Amino acid sequence: MYIAETFHSIQGEGALTGTPSFFIRTSGCNLRCRWCDTPYASWNPEGTQRSVDSILEEAASRPAFRHVVLTGGEPLLAKEIHDLAQSFRTAGHHITIETAGTLAPDNIPCDLASLSPKLSNSTPPPNSLPEAQRQRHESQRLNPRVIAAWLRHCDYQLKFVVSQKSDLDEIHRLLEAINQEGVRPIPSRVFLMPEGITETELQSKRAWLPQICQETGFRLCERMHILWFGNRRGT
């Protein structure tokens, strides 16, 4: 498997915020988000080839932990991701998979699907990359049928990066499209995350996001790892 990094840290977003966990970040992504904060796993993928066994050995050598996070890039693209998840399941770990929700779960062992569907605010501006890649991002970024399959597959959270108030219209349209696929998303499992990788950027969105959460029943999602560690790799 092509792995960008592995590290032991504390989850900084979503329902498991504050939970010590072992993170495995695969390298490679089918999307090209404008504001991607892990370009070394997407736009410019880096890493090393690792076997499932070597990752398991490293995990076992870390301090006591129960939670594992498979993230990326897009972890569902990684060869052997099913084998890796099954190995952690067999060892009794809690598995979170962080995915954009464009690729089907295909029965992968998972306790919490942390889905982050990409809104139009993710699409890179013209001329920032070859037009064919930009169009591919635009055509692949949302797939309500695949997201519905994840919601049926296991416990879930839906995390949205929000740049502006008008993003909410898009979120409501997507939730309705998922509903049309036969699964009604639960509002309290919808997390709104301010876009930004600095405390100043995040603070500017805190002025209006709490009010939106009060009106919709969605949850405000702080990006605590940026507050705790800054925007650094390995955190």
x/- mask, ligand SF4, residues 88-117, rule CB under 6 A, reads ------------x-----------------
Q: What sign does the dihedral 118-232-2-54 (CA atoms) show?
A: negative
Give the nearer residue to ligand SF4 in terms of CB position, either 29 or 69.
29
- Residue 32 binding ligand SF4, by CB under 6 A: yes
Give the nearer residue to ligand SF4 in terms of CB position, either 198 or 211.
198
Residue 29 one-letter amino acid: C
Give the nearer residue to ligand SF4 in terms of CB position, either 87 or 116.
116
* Binding region for ligand SF4 (CB under 6 A) out of 44-52, 67-75, 77-85, 148-156: 67-75
- Residue 36 binding ligand SF4, by CB under 6 A: yes
37-71 b/e (C-beta count within 10 Å ≥ 16 → b) = ebebbbeebebeebebeebeeebeeeeeeebbbbb
What residues are paired with 24 via a beta bridge?
Answer: 6, 70
- Residue 28 binding ligand SF4, by CB under 6 A: no
- Residue 157 binding ligand SF4, by CB under 6 A: no
**How many CA within 13 A on the CB side of residue 105?**
24
Contacting residues for 71 by C-beta, under 8 A, at least 6 apart: 23, 24, 25, 26, 97, 98
What residues are paired with 82 via a beta bridge?
Answer: none
Give the nearer residue to ligand SF4 in terms of CB position, either 35 or 65.
35
Query: What residues line the site for ligand SF4 (CB under 6 A)?
Result: 29, 31-33, 36, 38, 41-42, 72-74, 100, 118
